[in-house]
Amino acid sequence: MSILDQARIRLLYFGLLLAIVGLSALYVSVYLQNLHVMSIVLGGVLLSFIALFKYLSFKPHWRTISHMLLIIGTLVNLATVFVILQDVNIITVQIIILVIVFSFYMQGQNWGMFYSLLNLLPVLIFMVMKYDHKYFIDFKPETADDSTTIIAVFANFTLIIFIHSHFYTAFLKNIQQLKDTGEEQTALNIKFERAIEKAAKSSQVQSEFLSTMSHEIRTPLNAVIGMSNLLLMNNPRQDQSENLEILKFSANNLLAIVNDVLDFNKIESGKVVFEKIKFNLVDLMQNICGGQIIKAEEKGLLFKLDIDSSLRHKVIFGDPTRLTQVIFNLVSNAIKFTANGSILVRVTCLEDRHNNITVSFSVKDTGIGIKKENLQTIFEPFTQESITTTRQYGGTGLGLAIIKRLLQLQSLKMHVSSKVGQGSEFSFNMEFPVSTVIVSVKERSSALQQSQQTIAQAEGLGSNLRILIAEDNPVNVMLMKKLFSKWKIVPTIAENGERAVEIMQYGNFDVVLMDLQMPVMSGFDASMEIRKMTDPAKANVPIIALTASALFDIRDQVINAGMNDYVAKPFKPDELMEKIQNLVASVNN
Ligand code: ADP
How close is the Cα of 203 to the center of ligand 1, in Å?
Answer: 27
- Of 229-238, 341-350, 416-425, 474-483, the range with the lowest mean pLDDT is 474-483
395 CB within 6 A, ligand 1: yes
Q: Which atom of ligand 1 is nearest to the CA of 426?
A: 23
How close is the Cα of 434 to the center of ligand 1, in Å?
Answer: 33
Q: What is the pLDDT of residues 3-23, one digit of tens each?
A: 788 888 988 999 999 999 999
Q: Which atom of ligand 1 is nearest to the CA of 363?
A: 23
319 CB within 6 A, ligand 1: no
In angstroms, the CA 322 to CA 284 distance is 11
Q: What is the mean pLDDT of residues 124-145?
A: 72
Q: What pTM, to 2 d.p., does this model score? A: 0.52
398 CB within 6 A, ligand 1: yes
Q: Which atom of ligand 1 is nearest to the CA of 260?
A: 3
pLDDT of 126 strictly over 80: yes
Give the confidence band of 183 by pLDDT, cuts at 50, 70, 90.
very high
Burial class from Cβ neighbours inside 10 Å (0-12, 13-18, 19+) for residue 99 reads: buried
Distances (CA, A) of 278 to 43, 296, 315, 415, 437: 99, 29, 6, 27, 10
368 CB within 6 A, ligand 1: yes
pLDDT for 557:
80
Pocket test for ligand 1, best of 260, 333, 377 (most atoms within 8 A of CB): 333
* CATH code for the domain defined by 459-588: 3.40.50.2300
Q: Does domain 275-439 have CATH number 3.10.580.10?
A: no
**222 vs 95 pLDDT, higher one:** 95
Q: Whose CA is nearest to atom 19 of ligand 1?
A: 333
378 CB within 6 A, ligand 1: yes
- Of 20-34, 48-62, 437-451, 560-574, the range with the lowest mean pLDDT is 437-451
Other CB atoms within 10 A of residue 417 CB:
14
Residue 284, C-beta contacts closer than 8 angstroms, at least 6 positions apart: 320, 323, 324
pLDDT for 331:
95
How close is the Cα of 330 to the center of ligand 1, in Å?
Answer: 9
Burial class from Cβ neighbours inside 10 Å (0-12, 13-18, 19+) for residue 205 reads: exposed
Q: Whose CA is nearest to atom 25 of ligand 1?
A: 369
In angstroms, the CA 327 to CA 322 distance is 9
Q: How many residues are recorded in the chain? A: 589
What ranges in 366-467 are assigned the alpha helix state H?
A: 387-393, 399-409, 441-459
